[in-house]
C-alpha cells in the first residue's frame, strides 16, 4: 500500500486556494478514480495521466488508484492538476522520491506524450505559493507569467520526464524568467483637433479618476477622445498592476506578460450582454468591467445598449467590486474602472446642431434618452457636449493641441496632491470625506444649491460635483475650491439642462 501527497492550486475567481492531491494505491482489480468534486476535465485526467506516465517510460501501477483532491467541497476544474496527479502516482509507487515533493507546488496540463501544456490562472497561484513559502513548478509556456510574482521561486519544465529528473536530483529545472516590460502609451492627444472643452474635461477626468459622458453628433471625435484617456493616466503601481494582471490571467483570454504594467482599455460592442459585462458562467469568469480594472471601459452608442446590461454597471461604479453568486460557489472580482461613455443627442444624431438638420420630434428624443436610466447618469461625474467641428479646424495647417506627455504631467501632479491629502483619488472619496475635503465658502454654497435646484439633481450628483470641483482646484494647485472651480464643475452638468431643453 502506497500513499503520496502533492501540493497544487485551484482557481476561484482571482484567488488560488490550496489543493492537496492525495494518491493512494491498494490491491484489487486495476482501476483509477478521482474524488473531491472534480468536473469533467479533471475526471478525464486519468486517461491523460496514464498515457503520459507510460510515454515517459515509467510503469503505470496495475492497482486500485484513488486520487483525492482536498478540500472535497471546493469545485475543481480544468487540466491544472494533471502534473500533480501524475507525480503523486509515481511517488506512491516509489518510482520517484516522496520527500522531494513537500517543498513544491505543481501546476500543468499533460499531453498524451508527457508534454506539459500551459494553463490559465498561473499568476494568482504564483502569488499564493509565495505566501505559502513553497517553490512552484509550471509549464514552460507559463514561465513568464509566473515570474511576475517576484517573491516566488518558480521553475519551468517542458515534460513530465524533466520534472521527475529534477526531483531525483539528476537535473535542474530552469528558473522562470520575466519578459522585458513594454510600455505602450497609446494614441496621443495631439491627434485631437479643436474640442478644447472636451479636451479639458478629459484632463479633469484623468486627474480625479472621474467617469465621463461624451454627447455629440456622429463623427465629432467622441471615440477619438475616449481612446486617449489611458495615455493621460499615471503609471500603475506594481500591486495595482498585479491585481489587473491576475484578472486577465484567470479570464481565459490570455495575459501578455510583457505588457502587464499597461492600464487596460476595453471597448465592448453595444450588443454585449449583461453577463459579458459583469462576468459569469458555470465556472465564473471576469467580464469586461473587471478586465478594465485600473483602466478604462469605453461604451460607445450608450442608448443602443440593452438597458439590463447597462444597469449592471450601477453597483460596480460605486463599490469597485463585482460578486458573482452560483449555487456551488461565489466569486468576487475587482472592478474599479473609469467609465467613458459616448452617445448621440437624438436618434438621428443631430439635435442641437446649428445646421438644423435634425427632424426628430420630442417623443422620439424622450424614448431615446429613456434607454439610459437616471441612476446610471447620476453616477457619471462629467457630462460633456462635443459639437461638430467647423472645417477650418480640420485643415492640415491647423495648430495641434497639447501632446499627452504635457497633460499627463499635470495629471500626475494633481494625483500626488490627492494621495497626499486623502490617500486616494477624488473620485473614490466617501461621503464624509467629500464633505470634509470639498468645503465651499458661503457664497459658493449658495451657488451650488441654486444650481442643484435649477437642474433638479440628486444628492449623489451634488457630491460628484464637489469632487470634480476639488479636482479642478488640484489641477490649479489651489488649497481651496474657488468660485471659478465650482463654476467649471457645474458647467460639466450643462448637458443635463441642454438635453432637457431639447426634449421640451
Cβ–Cβ < 8 Å for 221, 197: no
**Residue 168 DSSP code:** T
Q: What is the CATH number of domain 189-503?
A: 3.40.50.300
Q: Which of 5, 278, 301, 246 is nearest to 124 (CA)?
A: 246
Task: Evaluate if pTM is beyond 0.85.
Answer: yes
Mean pLDDT score of the chain, rounded to an integer? 90
Q: Is the pLDDT of residue 76 over 80?
A: yes
Q: How far is CA 471 from the centre of its chain?
A: 24
Confidence of residue 503 (pLDDT cuts 50, 70, 90): very low
What does the pLDDT read at residue 254? Answer: 76
pLDDT of residue 366: 86
Mean pLDDT of 83-89: 97
Band of residue 323 on the pLDDT scale cut at 50, 70, 90: confident
Residue 256 is predicted with a pLDDT of: 85
Strands 135-139 vs 154-157: parallel, antiparallel or unpaired = parallel
- CA 91, CA 88: separation in Å to the nearest integer? 5
* Structure confidence at residue 496 (pLDDT): 53
Choose the weakest-confidence range: 26-30, 59-63, 172-176, 490-494.
Answer: 490-494
First to last CA, the chain: 84
The model's pLDDT over 389-439, given as tens digits with 9 standing for 90+, comes to 887 777 676 667 788 999 999 999 999 999 999 999 999 999 899 999 999
Tens of pLDDT, residue by residue over 255-300, are: 888 889 889 999 999 999 999 999 887 778 899 999 999 999 999 9
Q: What is the per-residue pLDDT across 159-218, written as a single tens digit (0 to 9) for each?
A: 999 999 999 999 999 999 988 887 777 788 888 888 889 999 999 999 999 999 999 998
Please name which of 494, 484, 420, 412 lies closest in space to residue 455, comparing C-alpha atoms: 494
Long-range contacts made by residues 391-397, C-beta under 8 angstroms, separation at least 24? 393/193, 393/194, 394/193, 394/194
Grid cell, residue 471, equals 479636482
Burial (CB count within 10 angstroms: exposed 0-12, middle 13-18, buried 19+), residue 162: buried
Q: What angle do CA 260, 204, 311 make, to 5 degrees?
A: 70
Domain ranges of the chain: 2-167, 189-503
Q: Is the separation of the CB atoms in 404 and 228 below 8 Å?
A: yes
Cβ atoms of 49 and 41 within 8 Å: the answer is no
Cell triple for 145: 507569467
pLDDT at position 119, please? 95
Phi, psi for 22 (deg, rounded to 5): -100, 125
Q: Of 41-50, 86-95, 111-120, 490-499, where does mean pLDDT reach its minimum? A: 490-499
Quick one: fold of 2-167? Ribosomal Protein S5; domain 2 (3.30.230)
Least confident of 15-19, 228-232, 396-400, 449-453: 396-400
pLDDT value for 332: 87
Instruction: Tell me: pLDDT of 139 over 90.
Output: yes
What is the rounded distance in angstroms from the CA atom of residue 254 to the CA atom of residue 263?
Answer: 15
Report the half-sphere exposure of 461 (CA within 13 A, side-chain side): 22
Amino acid at each position: 500500500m502506497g500513499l503520496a501527497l502533492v501540493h497544487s492550486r485551484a482557481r476561484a475567481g482571482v484567488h488560488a486556494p490550496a489543493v492537496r492531491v492525495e494518491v493512494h494505491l491498494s490491491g484489487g482489480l486495476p482501476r483509477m478514480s478521482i474524488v473531491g468534486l472534480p468536473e469533467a476535465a479533471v475526471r478525464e485526467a486519468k486517461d491523460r495521466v496514464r498515457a503520459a506516465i507510460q510515454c515517459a517510460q515509467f510503469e503505470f501501477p496495475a492497482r486500485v488508484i484513488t486520487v483525492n483532491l482536498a478540500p472535497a467541497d471546493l469545485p475543481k476544474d480544468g487540466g491544472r492538476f494533471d502534473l500533480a496527479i501524475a507525480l503523486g502516482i509515481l511517488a506512491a509507487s516509489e518510482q520517484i522520491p516522496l520527500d522531494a515533493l513537500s517543498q513544491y507546488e505543481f501546476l500543468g496540463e499533460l499531453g498524451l506524450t508527457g508534454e506539459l501544456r500551459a494553463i490559465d490562472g498561473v499568476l494568482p497561484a504564483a502569488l499564493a505559493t509565495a505566501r505559502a513559502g513553497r517553490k512552484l513548478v509550471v509549464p514552460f509556456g507559463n514561465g513568464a507569467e509566473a515570474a511576475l510574482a517576484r517573491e516566488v521561486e518558480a521553475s519551468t519544465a517542458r515534460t513530465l520526464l524533466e520534472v521527475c529528473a529534477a526531483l531525483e536530483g539528476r537535473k535542474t529545472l530552469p528558473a522562470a524568467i520575466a519578459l522585458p516590460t513594454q510600455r505602450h502609451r497609446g494614441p496621443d492627444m495631439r491627434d485631437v483637433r479643436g474640442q478644447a472643452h472636451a479636451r479639458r474635461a478629459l484632463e479633469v477626468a484623468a486627474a480625479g479618476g472621474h467617469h465621463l459622458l461624451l454627447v455629440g453628433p456622429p463623427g465629432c471625435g467622441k471615440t477619438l477622445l475616449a481612446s486617449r484617456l489611458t495615455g493621460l493616466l499615471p503609471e500603475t503601481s506594481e500591486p495595482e498592476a498585479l491585481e489587473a494582471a491576475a484578472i486577465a490571467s484567470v479570464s481565459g483570454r490570455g495575459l501578455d506578460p510583457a505588457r502587464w504594467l499597461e492600464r487596460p482599455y476595453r471597448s465592448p460592442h453595444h450588443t454585449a450582454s449583461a453577463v459579458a459585462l459583469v462576468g459569469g458562467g458555470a465556472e465564473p469568469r471576469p467580464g469586461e468591467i473587471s478586465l478594465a480594472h485600473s483602466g478604462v471601459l469605453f461604451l460607445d452608442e450608450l442608448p443602443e445598449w440593452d438597458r439590463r446590461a447597462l444597469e449592471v454597471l450601477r453597483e460596480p461604479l460605486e463599490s469597485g467590486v463585482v460578486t458573482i453568486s452560483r449555487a456551488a460557489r461565489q466569486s468576487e472580482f475587482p472592478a474599479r474602472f473609469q467609465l467613458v461613455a459616448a452617445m448621440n443627442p437624438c436618434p438621428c444624431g443631430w439635435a442641437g446642431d446649428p445646421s438644423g438638420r435634425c427632424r426628430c420630434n420630442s417623443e422620439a428624443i424622450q424614448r431615446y434618452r429613456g434607454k439610459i436610466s437616471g441612476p446610471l447618469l447620476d453616477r457619471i461625474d462629467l457630462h460633456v457636449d462635443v459639437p461638430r467641428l467647423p472645417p477650418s479646424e480640420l485643415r492640415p495647417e491647423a495648430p495641434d493641441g497639447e501632446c499627452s506627455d504635457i497633460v499627463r504631467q499635470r495629471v500626475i501632479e494633481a494625483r500626488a496632491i490627492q494621495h497626499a491629502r486623502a490617500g486616494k483619488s477624488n473620485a473614490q472619496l466617501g461621503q464624509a470625506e467629500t464633505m470634509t475635503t470639498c468645503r465651499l465658502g458661503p457664497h459658493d454654497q449658495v451657488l451650488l444649491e441654486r444650481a442643484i435646484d435649477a437642474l433638479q439633481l440628486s444628492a449623489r450628483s451634488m457630491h460628484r460635483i464637489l469632487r470634480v470641483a476639488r479636482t479642478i482646484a488640484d489641477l490649479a494647485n489651489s488649497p481651496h475650491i474657488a468660485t471659478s472651480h465650482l463654476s467649471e464643475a457645474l458647467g460639466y452638468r450643462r448637458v443635463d439642462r441642454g438635453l432637457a431643453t431639447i426634449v421640451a
